[in-house]
Structure 1
Amino acid sequence: MSNEGLGRAGVRAQFLIALLAMFTCGVCDALCAGLAADLQRAYLDGIDRAHSATMIANALGCSFLGFTVMLIVCSLLLDKVGMKAMLLFSGVLFLLASLTLAYCGTLGEGRSVYYLIVAGMFLGGAAHAVVEGTVNPLMGTLFPKGSTHYMSMLHAYYPAGLITGGVLSVMSNPATLSWHYLFLVIAAITGVYTFMTFGRQFAGTTSTLLGVNFRNQFVELLKRPSFFMWFGIMLFTATMEIAPREWIDVTLSNVVGMRGILIVVYVAALQFVGRHFAGFFETRLSVEGLLAVSAVLCAAGLFGLGYAHSPATALVAATLWGFGICYVWPVMLSIATDRYPRAGAIGVGFMGIAGSISIYVAMPFLGRIVDAAKLKAAGGPAALAAMTAEQVQEISRQAASDSFLLVGAIPAALVIVFAVLWMRRDKRAMPGAAGVYDA
């Protein structure tokens, strides 16, 4: 069914469901990131204090493993199963994730609690993937004349969810036994958009409407080598955006004297407002120009976070980083929907897969950096185990700074890449986002 067949009311209803589903993804990710330090203190420090940072980083990274695996599945099956069934399936996954994380301390003991945390994070990432794998292609169908603006509006509600989940996690009290029940909020919000999905008809993907079968979607990508250039770029753009966000509460709280999740909430607020103006900046800078400016701001922000030692300096750095990452993810996805419409869900899904693969690799790597620095400063595992919490916090400061400086090198390098693409685009005098770019 096309968007014309649905009518304006049908388009609005589908767009609203997509916004709520994306909002749920943000709440889930914020609670996982915001309560990660609590999970580490409550369960993982007691299992293996010397490697607890690596363990919680692995758990957070497994969220992106779940995202990767399920995004592949969703991209391959979306045209056959349909968008409605996929959205309902995402609701089931969110429910399982929230229950597993909320009751991990009850369902298991010892090291099994760690595996339950990993499973809960994996399921949350899988649910997020099903949502993204469904609603991103939906934007290309509902708004075929150019999806950059609406894709950015859609992804504005992801940071709106981050704000909600971040505020809830800050309100939690680690000293009580009830903080982990905040994970049940995910299930409650999930119920809203899944209920709205029942009885609603959904449009097909762009490839379906264009009559492109499953095999020819892959052929389309092979015929357009520029797609693989953007796929490679996505491996790095996702790392500079998502890895710091997931890692910031675990590390930065020890450095600047404030909850790192508050910085995530602040940055999410910048994204929520900024993403409503993506179309304005795109028409003036082009997609490549917007990405180049974003990389400059992101590099400055991450280097600033690496050197931040107070709430004020962290806020300034976070502002630069927040504006830098504001448009990167939705713009990269809109490149797939606008420039490769015949690839349908496969093209958009592959872009998301590239992003999730990079984070799955980056998160444990950052955890190992922090753990190695702690062990070196303490003088070995035995000495670290004997330290007080205050002493551990002190040696974690420099380790956290090093992790942000390392990630900051990625957008610094991408500035050159996007600048070259921007200049090439100007020379070819190509029109807006809907143009075709064959590098």
Structure 2
Amino acid sequence: MAKAIQPSKLFVASCMALLVTSLSFGIRAGILGDLGKQFDLSASQLGIIASTAFWGFPLAVVIGGFVVDIIGMKRLLLAAFVLHLAGILLTIFATGFSTLFVSTLFIGMANGTVEAACNPLVATIYPNNKTTKLNHFHLWFPGGIVVGALVVFFLSGMGLNYKVQMATMIIPTLLYGYLFLKLDFPVTERVASGISNAQMYRSIGSPLFIVIFVLMFGTAITELFTGQWIEVLLKNVTENAILILAMTAGVQTLGRAFAGPIVHRMSPTGVLLISAVLSAVGLYMLAHVSGNMVFLAAFIFGMGVTYFWPCMIGFVSENIPESGALGMNLVGGAGMFAVSIYTIFMGGFYDSILAKQLPAGASLDAYRTAAAGTEEAAAFAKAQAVAGPEILNVTLVIPVVLIFAFTGLYFYMRNRKKPDIAIA
């Protein structure tokens, strides 16, 4: 069986699955407005639909972490394929809020299942180059967001509706499903190494794992919350907010493609420390500069968040290998869950800042929906220009705290003997 394992083909199929995951984020973000018009949905209903993917993801990734060693990575990825295909088709043939809610839930769970299986798969088939290959794998997430945004932009410009845009995901979905169905899979690294369940559970209760688990809250929020909200936060600061998002995702894609020399030269903890510094500098600049300097700020911020997610997952796999797939997936699930909670909290905070900038007793909804060119619309735009940078200033606290945390972790890891697990 071992001779039948084809790491390169498994890796390509994993990247294709992650591409579908990221396309779902980019395309769904671009078609939400069209869905609202098509089915007469309120902003509240659209918010519920959009947020469903974010809690469906951690739900699936955590459950997958518990069962992947039992049922195997192949069955888990075939389940992801079924969920992706069902979610796409339900969106295309949606009849209203309920079907859109279920379709987004399916896609969110599919996305989490891909992470739950592919992270341990990549670590298993590349045991001596885990962090670098995880960076190569995860470059398909920002890369797919760029592709998804471009798909929406060009197809919308051609007058093609959301059904056609969603349908573009069917081909890569069928492709990765076919590849995974035909390929043989190894057992997970933990199973191959003979690590018992008791050892696994002890490892996820270790101080080092708990520290990484908590730090993942900060790295995920810094990367995903800011990226998700960048257009909202800066659209009244610059006319090209969507290009800032594209630039950030593009920088992440290129940075992860060339991760090997950087990770090998500096170690994952060194990379994480520098990432925190660049993220803090980039966020500060985004909140305080204007004009073309915003693009420089976006470039610096993009470099900062490039290695957060894959290096955090890689750190767990390399330094707490007894935790196995469960450890990687608990950390990934923690990050996405933190983003969902922080997004809800900051959404309310954003509205409160807007309210303070408007006349006393003003209706926020009335100003938000005011016709262009009116005094109310101008006042609301001015309030947004204040609220966006203020949210970034508050979020800036997180990477600043990460700088101190990763500094301590860097010096701790220099004096810690790295565990060694041989693959049978």
Normalization by structure 2: what TM-score? Answer: 0.88
Helix, strand or coil: the match of 1:198?
helix
Residues 88 and 308 (structure 1), Cα distance of their counterparts in 2 relative to 1, 3 Å cut: farther
Query: Cα distance, 1:291 vs. partner?
Result: 0.7
Task: Output the CA distance in 2 between the equivalents of 1:389 and 1:372.
Answer: 22
User: Bigger shift: 284-293 or 384-393?
Assistant: 384-393
Map of 1:97 onto structure 2:
87
How far apart are 1:369 and its partner, in Å? 2.6
Map 1:34-49 to 2 at 5 A.
34-36=30-32, 39=35, 42=37, 48=42
Q: Equivalent of 1:258, from 232, 240, 248?
A: 240
- What runs of 5+ residues in structure 2 fail to find an aligned partner? none
Query: Cα gap change, 1:35/1:389 in structure 2, threshold over 3 Å: closer, same or farther?
Result: farther
Q: Offset at 1:135? A: 0.7
| Distance across 1 between alignment mates of 2:64 and 2:55 | 14
Residue 306 of structure 1: how far off its partner (Å): 2.5
Residues of 1 paired with 2:34 and 2:235: CA distance? 12
2:413 matched residue in structure 1: 425
The answer to whether structure 1 residue 143 and structure 2 residue 126 are counterparts is yes
Q: Check the 8 A contact 2:279/2:302 in 1, yes or no.
A: yes
State how far apart, in whole Å, the 1-side matches of 2:341 and 2:215 are: 15
Structure 1 letter corresponding to 2:215:
I
The letter for the 1-side match of 2:294 is: A
Q: In 2, distance between residues paired with 1:395 and 1:116?
A: 36
What does residue 225 of structure 2 align with? Answer: 243
SS at match of 2:367: helix
Q: Secondary structure at the match of 1:173?
A: helix
Alpha-carbon deviation of 1:328? Answer: 0.8
In structure 2, relative to structure 1, the CA distance for the partners of 1:170 and 1:369 (3 Å cut) is: farther
User: Match of 1:67?
Assistant: 57
| 1:320–1:385 Cα change, 3 Å | closer
Residues 116, 253 of structure 1: CA spacing in aligned structure 2 closer, same or farther, 3 A cutoff? farther
Mark the CA change 1:324 to 1:382 in structure 2 (over 3 Å): closer, same or farther: closer
1:276, distance to aligned residue in structure 2 (A): 2.5
Aligned to 2:209: 227
Q: Which of 154, 168, 182 is matched with 2:151 structurally?
A: 168
Q: Deviations over 1:105-145 (max 9, x none)?
A: xx02xxxx3x5544443322211111110010012211112
1:19 maps to amino acid:
C
Q: Find the partner of 1:19 among 8, 15, 21.
A: 15
SS in 1 for 2:258: helix
CA contact (8 A) 1:167 1:265 kept: no
Letter of the 1:67 partner, please give it.
Answer: F
Alignment match, 1:194: 177
Change (3 A) 1:38 1:368: farther
Change (3 A) 1:175 1:277: closer
Amino acid at match of 2:64: C
Out of 68, 73, 77, the position equivalent to 1:87 is 77
Counterpart in the other structure of 2:252 = 271
1:362 pairs, out of 339, 342, 345, with 342
SS of corresponding position for 2:324: helix
Q: 1:435 to 1:327 in 2, by over 3 A?
A: farther
State the distance in 2 between where 1:402 and 1:120 align.
34
Query: What amino acid maps onto 1:73 in structure 2?
Result: I
Contact 1:58 1:364 in 2 (8 A): no
CA distance in 1: counterparts of 2:238 and 2:165, whole angstroms: 25
The percentage of aligned residue pairs carrying the same residue is 25
Task: Look up the SS of the partner of 1:144 in the other structure.
Answer: coil
Deviation at 1:28, TM superposition (A): 1.2
SS at match of 2:111: helix
Q: What one-letter code is carried by the residue in structure 1 that aligns with 2:410?
A: W
- In the other structure, the counterpart of 2:269 is 288
Contact 1:270 1:326 in 2 (8 A): yes
TM-score, length-scaled by structure 1: 0.85
Residue 5 (str. 1) matches residue 21 (str. 2)? no
- How far apart are 1:296 and its partner, in Å? 0.9
1:298 is paired with a residue whose SS is helix
Residue 410 of structure 1 aligns with which residue?
Answer: 398
Distance in 2 between residues matched to 1:278 and 1:288, nearest whole Å: 14
Query: Which residue in 1 is equivalent to 2:312?
Result: 332
Kindly provide the CA deviation profile for residues 153-191 of structure 1, in whole angstroms up to 9, marking residues without a partner as x. 111122221221121122253895714531222233211
Please state whether the residue corresponding to 2:235 is helix, strand or coil: helix
| 8 Å contact kept, 2:54–2:340 | yes
Report the CA distance shift for 1:97/1:420 in structure 2 as closer, same or farther (over 3 A): same
Alpha-carbon separation, structure 2, partners of 1:165 and 1:74:
26
Q: Which position in structure 1 is the counterpart of 2:296?
A: 316
| Aligned counterparts, 1:123-142, within 5 A | 123-142=106-125
Q: 1:82 to 1:350 in 2, by over 3 A?
A: same
- Counterpart CA distance in 1 for 2:57 and 2:229 is 17
Distance 1:424 1:245 in 2: 31
Partner amino acid for 1:99?
A: L
Which of 343-352 and 95-104 deviates more? 95-104
2:234 and 2:93 map into 1 onto residues whose CA distance is 27
Question: Matched residues in 1 for 2:101 and 2:232: separation?
Answer: 16
2:340 and 2:369 mapped to 1: Cα distance? 31
1:300 maps to 2:281: yes
- Unpaired segments ≥5 residues, structure 1: none
Q: Which 4+ stretches in 1 moved above 6 angstroms? A: none
Paired positions, count: 413
Cα RMSD (Å) of the superposition? Answer: 2.7
Tell whether the 8 Å contact from 2:35 to 2:41 is kept in structure 1 after alignment.
no
| Cα pair distance change 1:209/1:243, threshold 3 Å | same
* Partner AA of 2:66 in structure 1: L
Mapped to 1, the partners of 2:349 and 2:46 lie a distance apart of 13
